Chains A and B, each alone.
Chain A
Amino acid sequence: MTDTPPPPPTPPVATAATTPEAPATGNSEYSIDIRGLNKWYGSFHVLKDINLQVSKGERIVICGPSGSGKSTMIRCINRLEEHQEGTIIVDGVELTNDVKNIDTVRREVGMVFQHFNLFPHLTVLENCTLAPIWVRKTPKKEAIATAMQYLERVRIPEQANKYPGQLSGGQQQRVAIARSLCMNPRIMLFDEPTSALDPEMISEVLDTMIDLAETGMTMLCVTHEMGFAKQVADRVIFMDYGEIVEQAPPEEFFNNPKHDRTQLFLSQILAH
């Protein structure tokens, strides 16, 4: 089936993040509960009526063409981007302009970026202990112990006292994952964690992510690594023009896509 993107409605005047059909706050059983989410950049309608419920421990892979709004959507979940309509409830906390709620959510949600975004003036260990010490108020000794434990889990404990600039891309990205994990998040967001990496480093990062998936972490990954999607995803989401076009478990998604746009996209990325 084919559907044309609906004409973009104009952005609402008020920035209140509530819609009548969704509960204002709630003891949602979902880890992430997004309802009626709309977002505009100026007059550009970047996210359209997004509804997405993620259960605890669920692993979701998001794919779609460039500019389809994948990054924007997951960045709304930890409020790196503001939304104008709809509700986003993360672990029972609704994201509004309330700074306290935003802080609460950010403490529980880790994020890994395409370009790592490690702090270049701090050592690997300091990168990993800064937020636990200053946000979670963990005693320094304990924070270091935790950090070393996670650095071991991503298999680079020997790099702890180096600066990020001295590491390879794959090592940097694993540090970035460890840095997020040190905050003990309940949810991890990944925005194309392997697309800035040289081919021979992609698998070391994916392996780390697979390990993490096996611990039962709730994960949302924007990635075009379809092998990863097949191996760990509970659900694959396809976005195009700011909409969620299709979502399905990986076998169904890859073997039996329902939308022509999904099919086209899959044929393009599997072609090379």
Chain B
Amino acid sequence: MNELLTHTRLPDRAPPVSEVGIVHWAKKHLFGSVSNTIMTLVSLYILYLLIPPLVNWALLKANISGTDRSVCDANAAGACWTFIKVRFNQIMFGLFYGSHPDQIWRPVLAFFMLVGLLTPLFIEKFPFKGMLGGFILLVYPFIAFALIHGAWLGLPVAETREWGGFLLTFVLSSIGIVAALPLGILLALGRRSELPVIRSFSIFYIELWRGTPLITVLFMASVLLPLFFPAGVEFDKVLRALIGITMFQSAYTAEAIRGGLQAIPKGQFEAADALGLSYWKKMIFIVLPQALKISIPGIVNTFIELFKDTSLVSIIGLLDLLNMAQTASQSIEWKGYDTEAYIFAAFIFWIFCYGISRYSQNLEAKLDRGHRN
């Protein structure tokens, strides 16, 4: 009789040295072939031409001291950050707060309150997420409005038409996306509904807004909405813009979510049906949590687009971050420094959009970790 053999497993070894390390990486990716090497060298040369003058202008020779243009005019080779420093409040918070620096604490407090309220939501084991989320959605907006507007608290009133800058951009885009999400969910579900009336309405609505540029929507919101109200009733401009933005954004959100819904296997619907879950319970507990997760990149994309597109509210006379920066640079005191204004606005936009994009990547990775194998 044969004796049974026992197999001994080979131990793992580290890869050969030539396969790891920075030198290897550079060899492989930057100088891997002739054309690759040429491209690397050309890119390096272009960077050499661009970077030093830019650094010189924006940092090394830049002006930041003083409170008027005399410093900048004396040293024209450097950027004039003095202008941004002096007009910072106006560009970030709009005309009212620009001229009432003692009131700036109100929007700042509102902003940090929001950050403070949102933070626990990102702590994995925080027990009262639902309640906190409800508070942020239902109560916080009123607190923020009370603070920023001021009338309810007996503070100096900042009329909404005097809101502007980053504050306005932030208010419009964040309320826009939050209000558009439930609408978008309903529209996406409606588009897949078995009831022809609901389906046709959803398709009509989505295609209507998707086929219209935001600038037209804002213009129509500004011109058409007041027609529904008695003459003489002043209809808040910011509210008009918000309604237009929400309508518009909900169509894009709906399409992003529809993509997610389509990715849910039929078996998930069937298992939910077989357990006796009603349509809404099936959607709320089974389908939407999975579909929304898949839709996160799409929704974030539309949000970033919206964030940048809020600049279009200038068509109805509101000054967002970009327009406020431009306006500031066109004032008599600072005429000629519009480059600085645009760079600053672009920088703020970029920080914000990049932050959102990074966060959504994290979120995806985190959600993925939990559920996939």
Contacts and interface: CB of A to CB of B under 8 A. Distances in A.
Interface of A: 78-80, 103, 106-107, 109-111, 113, 115, 117-121, 130-131, 134-135, 163, 165-166, 179-180, 183
A227 B233 CA distance: 81
Contacts, number: 67
Given A117-B267, A163-B371, 17 more contacts: A78-B274, A79-B273, A103-B278, A106-B273, A106-B275, A110-B274, A117-B268, A121-B289, A121-B370, A130-B277, A131-B275, A131-B277, A134-B277, A165-B372, A165-B373, A179-B275, A183-B275
Interface string B107-143: 0000000000000000000000000000000000000
B285 A106 contact: no
B372 A120 contact: yes
B199 interface: no
A107 B276 CA distance: 5
B61 interface: no
A113 B267 contact: yes
Contacts of B273: 78-80, 106
B274 A80 contact: yes
B276 A106 contact: yes
A130 B276 CA distance: 11
Contacts of B271: 111, 113, 117-119
Interface string B272-287: 1111111001000110
A135 B276 contact: yes
Most chain A CB within a 10 A radius of its CB, from B271, B272, B273, B277: B271
Interface residues of B, number: 22
B276 to A, nearest CB: 4
A134 B281 CA distance: 8
A31 to B, nearest CB: 17
B189 to A, nearest CB: 18
Contacts of B276: 103, 106-107, 131, 135, 183
A110 B271 CA distance: 10
A223 to B, nearest CB: 18
Given A107-B276, A131-B275, A135-B281, A119 B373 contact: no
B275 A163 contact: no
A222 B262 CA distance: 29
Contacts of A118: 271
Contacts of B286: 119, 130
B305 interface: no
B270 interface: yes
Nearest to A126: B285
A36 to B, nearest CB: 24
Contacts of A110: 274
Contacts of B360: none
Interface of B: 265, 267-268, 270-278, 281, 285-286, 289-290, 293, 370-373
A180 B271 CA distance: 10
Contacts of A113: 267, 270-271
A111 B274 contact: yes
Contacts of A111: 271, 274
Most A CB within 10 A of own CB, among B265, B268, B275, B289: B275
Given A80-B274, A183-B276, A130 B267 contact: no
Contacts of A78: 273-274
A-B pairs with lowest CB-CB distance, top 6: A117-B271, A117-B267, A106-B276, A131-B275, A111-B274, A165-B373
Given A80-B274, A106-B276, A166 B373 contact: yes
A121 B290 contact: yes
Contacts of B267: 113, 115, 117
A119 B281 CA distance: 14
B274 A130 contact: no
Given A163-B371, A165-B373, A117 B275 contact: no
Nearest to B370: A163
Contacts of B268: 117, 119
Nearest to B279: A99
A183 B271 CA distance: 13
Contacts of A179: 275
7 contacts: A113-B271, A119-B286, A130-B286, A163-B370, A163-B371, A165-B371, A183-B276
B194 to A, nearest CB: 12
A46 B281 CA distance: 31
Contacts of B270: 80, 113, 117
Contacts of B290: 119-121
A135 B277 contact: yes
B371 A134 contact: no
B69 to A, nearest CB: 58
A119 B272 CA distance: 9
A44 to B, nearest CB: 19
Contacts of B289: 121
